[in-house]
Amino acid sequence: MDAKQLRSKSDKEVRDELIALRKEQFNLRMQQASGQMPRGHQIRNVRKNIARAKTVMVERVKKAITK
């Protein structure tokens, strides 16, 4: 997911997306630990999407503080 797409969502939607990404990350880690991980690149992609979501959330907080 692009940061542009995340910025177009509301605060609640971004939080929900972050929760969903964290759950996906956990599931991928469990698959990797049990040796069922056929697509190793997904962990990296999910981690980057989590970072994007957090960045958008921090940008909104900073924007609210400066107003």
Full-model pTM: 0.89
What is the fold of 3-66? Helix Hairpins (1.10.287)
Residues 2 and 9: beta-carbon distance below 8 Å: no
Give the residue extent of every domain in the chain: 3-66
**Rounded to an integer, what distance in angstroms lies between the CA atom of residue 48 and that of residue 1?**
9
**Rounded to an integer, what distance in angstroms lies between the CA atom of residue 14 and that of residue 16?**
5
List average pLDDT for each run of 10 residues in the chain, which is 67 residues long: 90 96 95 85 95 95 90
| Predicted local confidence at residue 55, as pLDDT | 96
**Rounded to an integer, what distance in angstroms lies between the CA atom of residue 65 and that of residue 50?**
23
